[in-house]
């Protein structure tokens, strides 16, 4: 597979606190990469550096190089908003815009770029909801509030909203942690389908989920309170869960720490 995202010696800070240190990895296109590790190890911070969401926090900054198809996304003159169009994000808790209908939620990102013909938005809504496996459930109530859907449906609506602007990469920060097992399975099945068209990076505390859905898994850890998070290893998921290269990875996976 060709590389889609490259992180080279990335350090991320919140003010003077270094959250992640010397992070280097390659994420392949049209694949699912999972980040696992104990709380506070920097995996969500690492995820947010990939679409420049990290710097939205006052005092936060990133050092090092992150490339999307060889283009440095932190280079001078690069518009962070343009980066976020290419690298969409789905958050831990479903967050449809509460005052907007299902239809309006899907096209919200498109409308930020200016006026879009109604025929075009109709097409995007149907295509995106079908891609998110939600169209059949909501096609007759597109004018109803998105916040009125179930939790699992809301998360799929948020995925439809993210892919409506046709990103190249989809980041998911614990997308199933607030969902019931049936909704979680639906999102996992959806991820398997979406990787045919998108590069997906997921943060999860659910190691069974990482084992089920990802092609590669990166294990992050933290040595102690106040220390930066570090990537211990990243490899094919089957190898990480059956024969990891680092004892710390095996200890975490088997529950001996973390």
Q: How many domains does the chain have?
A: 1
Q: In terms of residue numbers, what domain contains 18?
A: 3-93+168-253
Q: Is residue 125 part of a domain?
A: no
105 assigned to some structural domain: no
- Sheet hosting strand 32-36, strand order edge to edge: 71-72, 60-68, 3-14, 17-28, 229-236, 216-222, 32-36, 199-203, 169-173, 87-90
Q: pLDDT tens per residue, the chain (258 residues)?
A: 667 999 999 999 999 999 999 999 999 999 999 999 999 999 999 999 999 999 999 999 999 999 999 899 999 999 999 999 999 999 988 899 999 999 999 999 887 766 677 878 999 999 999 999 999 999 999 999 999 999 999 999 999 999 999 999 999 999 999 889 999 999 999 999 999 999 999 999 999 999 999 999 999 999 888 899 999 999 999 999 999 999 999 999 988 765
- Which CATH number goes with the domain that contains 41? 3.40.50.300
Domain membership of residue 63 (yes or no) is: yes
pLDDT of residue 56: 93
In a domain, 201, yes or no: yes
Q: In this predicted structure, what is the pLDDT of residue 119? A: 79
| Structural domain includes residue 196 | yes
C-alpha gyration radius of the chain? 18
pLDDT of residue 173: 96
């Amino acid at each position: 597979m060709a590389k889609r995202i490259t992180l080279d010696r990335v350090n991320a800070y919140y003010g003077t606190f270094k959250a992640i240190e010397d992070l280097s990895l390659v994420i392949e296109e049209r694949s699912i990469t999972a980040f696992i590790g104990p709380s506070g190890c920097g995996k969500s911070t690492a995820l947010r550096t990939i679409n420049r969401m990290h710097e939205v926090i006052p005092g936060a900054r990133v050092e090092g190089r992150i490339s999307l198809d060889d283009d440095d996304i932190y280079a001078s003159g690069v518009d962070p908003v343009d980066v976020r169009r290419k690298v969409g994000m789905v958050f831990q808790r479903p967050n449809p815009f509460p005052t907007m209908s299902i239809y309006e939620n899907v096209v919200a990102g498109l409308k930020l770029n200016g006026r879009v013909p109604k025929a075009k938005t109709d097409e995007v809504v149907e295509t995106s909801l079908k891609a998110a496996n939600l169209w059949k459930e909501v096609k007759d109530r597109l004018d109803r509030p998105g916040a009125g859907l179930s939790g699992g449906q809301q998360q799929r609506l948020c995925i439809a909203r993210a892919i409506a602007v046709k990103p190249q990469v989809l980041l998911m920060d614990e997308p199933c942690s607030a969902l019931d097992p049936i909704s979680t399975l639906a999102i996992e099945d959806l991820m398997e389908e979406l990787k045919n068209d998108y590069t997906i990076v997921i943060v999860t505390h659910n190691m069974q989920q990482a084992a089920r859905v990802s092609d590669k898994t990166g294990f992050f850890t933290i040595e102690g309170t106040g220390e930066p998070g570090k990537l211990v290893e990243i490899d094919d998921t089957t190898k990480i869960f059956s024969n990891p290269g680092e004892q710390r990875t095996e200890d975490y996976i088997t529950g001996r720490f973390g």
